[in-house]
Amino acid sequence: MSNGAKPKGGIEPLASPLLARDAKRVGMASSWGSFLQDEQQLEELARQAVDRALAEGVLLRTTQEPSSSNVVSYAPFTLFPSLVPSALLEQAYAVQMDFNLLVDAVSQNAAFLEQTLSSTIKRDTFTARLFDIYKQVLKEGIAQTVFLGLNRSDYMFQRNADGSPALKQIEINTISASFGGLASRTPAVHRHVLNVLGKTKEAARILSNNPSKGLALGIAKAWELYGSAKALVLLIAQEKERNVFDQRAIENELLARNIRVIRRRFEDVSEKGSLDQDRKLFLDGQEIAVVYFRDGYMPSQYNQQNWEARLLLERSCSVKCPDIATQLAGTKKVQQELSRVGVLEVLLPDQPEAVARLRATFAGLYSLDLGEEGDQAIAEALAAPNRFVLKPQREGGGNNLYGEEMVQTLERLKDSEERASYILMEKIEPEPFGNCLLRPGCPVRVVQCISELGIFGVYVRQGKTLVMNKHVGHLLRTKATEHADGGVVAGVAVLDNPYPV
């Protein structure tokens, strides 16, 4: 998801030429580091990896070109898969259905959303605008009867006090969760790299992964339950979308099931969209069964016309993915309130096991609402800035504040209501390791990295009945440790695969 955020500074070479001992020095998994003899071999391996990535369709449109362009390059990726403890991978998969249930429960709980977001919407105009639409839809009555969630819960790994590795949630994405398409194509690239090195046994251990298929099956189920054979899926796309092949993977899966998808912008909806007396949505005269948003998650993506289009879509009986309540359920403020003692128990009554699994993944999250609790959180962050991250209600990478920037912002906001538009989070400190980040036009070198694991989840609800609740695959993204924030399209993180150990 691009918001034009720029990586802060370049990556310094750590070892040149790269030898096994250098790789070891930067903590590259000793197995990978010891495969490499010299820098020449590294560069040849990188060339082969890039060619395979291009051949597999691990692609982004280049920044300079318009959305109709056929000028592409490879999406950045790591040369080697990164080691991930199998137990954490299993834990992340096991808790995904719980997160699906939780998001669905929050989205249906108007009192909880209203109470949780009340302080935030006073000062955050974007969240307030979304909330406004939510209120309008509630007042008119929700027309849709089928609900579809396609989300991705993201984690980092941190050591517990006893040295065992722990899974800590960074956030859950309930709108436009991306890279399910490209993530199905990167395993072949990493297998290729290991095969080139003669490591066939290791290559075979790289997990197959096909999130876009699972996401498409969710859309297909929602389409089927909507119950009109001629109706289409509408993908709300950005004007200039670099990550189009990721989206096409889902479209292709739908087409293979004889479900037609049209790509349109908010502008097209406002010009040509309409509702009939039953609030069925029509665009260009065609009925829309499912609206899948790959746009609309950040303020810059809306003008007045787009807000009106969003309202029209929300009022319709089409299945929105996500509906406005589910988008609000994915805000950082909601994440913070969910971590409060007793809240999960209220939202998921009689499900103590799910509650325990969910809570085990929570990092420290702190409200900054005016009052004693918020004052205390701010005092702690000012006393130890390196232990915290300050987060506004934004998506897409590049919005969080760290270190000195966080301190300055907290000093400025300390006595103002505006501080309630942020939350404070414990900073997760994964152990760095060495890997090569391959980017078009950048030299190949080993750098210190950390990874973030995402698990894709899908659920479909018809009225009160949950008819689908699944995990459908994973995404590993890796970035150099010098970058505090993330984002692949933002130019910081790159695609990776977990190598389970």
The residues that are catalytic are 152, 171, 173, 178, 332, 391, 395-396, 477
Is 468 annotated to bind ligand?
no
Taking the least distance from each CB to ligand ADP, the nearer of 401 and 446 is: 401
248-287: burial string, b at 16+ Cβ within 10 Å, e else = bbbbebbeeeebebebbbbebbbeebebeeebbbbbeeee
| Cα-based distances in Å from 166 to 154, 324, 430 | 13, 33, 10
Shortest distance, position 97 Cβ to ligand ADP, whole Å = 21
How far apart (Å, rounded) are the C-alpha atoms in residues 86 and 82? 12
Taking the least distance from each CB to ligand ADP, the nearer of 171 and 323 is: 171
Is 405 annotated to bind ligand?
no
Residue from 22, 104, 485, 496 in contact with ligand ADP (CB under 6 A): 485
From the list 113, 69, 501, the residue with the least C-alpha distance to 245 is 69
Taking the least distance from each CB to ligand ADP, the nearer of 96 and 400 is: 400
Question: Which H/E stretch holds residue 93?
Answer: helix 86-94
124 binds ligand ADP (CB under 6 A): no
Contacts with ligand ADP, 421-460, as mask; x by CB under 6 A: ----xxxx-----------------------x--------
Residue with tokens 């669905």: 104
Residue with tokens 């998506």: 395
Shortest distance, position 493 Cβ to ligand ADP, whole Å = 7
Taking the least distance from each CB to ligand ADP, the nearer of 418 and 426 is: 426
How far apart (Å, rounded) are the C-alpha atoms in residues 298 and 302? 8
378 binds ligand ADP (CB under 6 A): no
Number of residues that bind ligand ADP (CB under 6 A): 19
CB 322 within 8 Å of CB 174 = yes
Shortest distance, position 195 Cβ to ligand ADP, whole Å = 31
Taking the least distance from each CB to ligand ADP, the nearer of 179 and 223 is: 179
400 binds ligand ADP (CB under 6 A): yes
Q: Which amino acid is at 212?
A: S
For 412, the 3-state DSSP assignment is helix
Q: How many residues does the chain have?
A: 501
Measure CA 101 to chain center: 18
For 59, the 3-state DSSP assignment is strand
Structure token digits, residue 153: 């819960």
How far apart (Å, rounded) are the C-alpha atoms in residues 446 and 17? 10
Taking the least distance from each CB to ligand ADP, the nearer of 181 and 398 is: 398
Shortest distance, position 417 Cβ to ligand ADP, whole Å = 23
Shortest distance, position 311 Cβ to ligand ADP, whole Å = 24
152 binds ligand ADP (CB under 6 A): no
Residue with tokens 């440790």: 481
How far apart (Å, rounded) are the C-alpha atoms in residues 32 and 24? 9
Is 398 annotated to bind ligand?
yes
Residue nearest to ligand ADP (CB): 486
Taking the least distance from each CB to ligand ADP, the nearer of 2 and 270 is: 2
Shortest distance, position 356 Cβ to ligand ADP, whole Å = 21
Is 399 annotated to bind ligand?
yes
Chain residues 233-252 in contact with ligand ADP, contact rule CB under 6 A: none
What are the residues whose beta carbons fall under 8 Å from the beta carbon of 89, sequence distance 6 or more? Answer: 453, 474, 498, 500
Chain residues 154-213 in contact with ligand ADP, contact rule CB under 6 A: 154, 170-171
389 binds ligand ADP (CB under 6 A): yes
Residue from 222, 363, 390, 449 in contact with ligand ADP (CB under 6 A): 363
| Cα-based distances in Å from 376 to 115, 402, 408, 484 | 21, 18, 17, 24
For 324, the 3-state DSSP assignment is helix
Measure CA 208 to chain center: 20
From the list 424, 480, 458, the residue with the least C-alpha distance to 153 is 458
Shortest distance, position 254 Cβ to ligand ADP, whole Å = 26
The region of 27-35, 208-216, 285-293, 387-395 touching ligand ADP under the rule CB under 6 A is: 387-395
From the list 51, 190, 60, the residue with the least C-alpha distance to 487 is 60
DSSP secondary structure letter of residue 317? S
Is 315 annotated to bind ligand?
no
127 binds ligand ADP (CB under 6 A): no
Residue with tokens 């989206």: 247
Taking the least distance from each CB to ligand ADP, the nearer of 310 and 477 is: 477
Which residues are known binding-site members for ATP? 171, 332, 391-400, 402, 425-428, 452, 479, 485
Give binding residues for substrate as ranges: 152, 247, 477
Given the rule CB under 6 A, which residues bind ligand ADP? Answer: 154, 170-171, 363, 389, 391, 394-397, 399-400, 425-428, 452, 485-486
User: Can you say which residues are annotated as belonging to the binding site?
Assistant: 152, 171, 173, 247, 332, 391-400, 402, 425-428, 452, 477, 479, 485
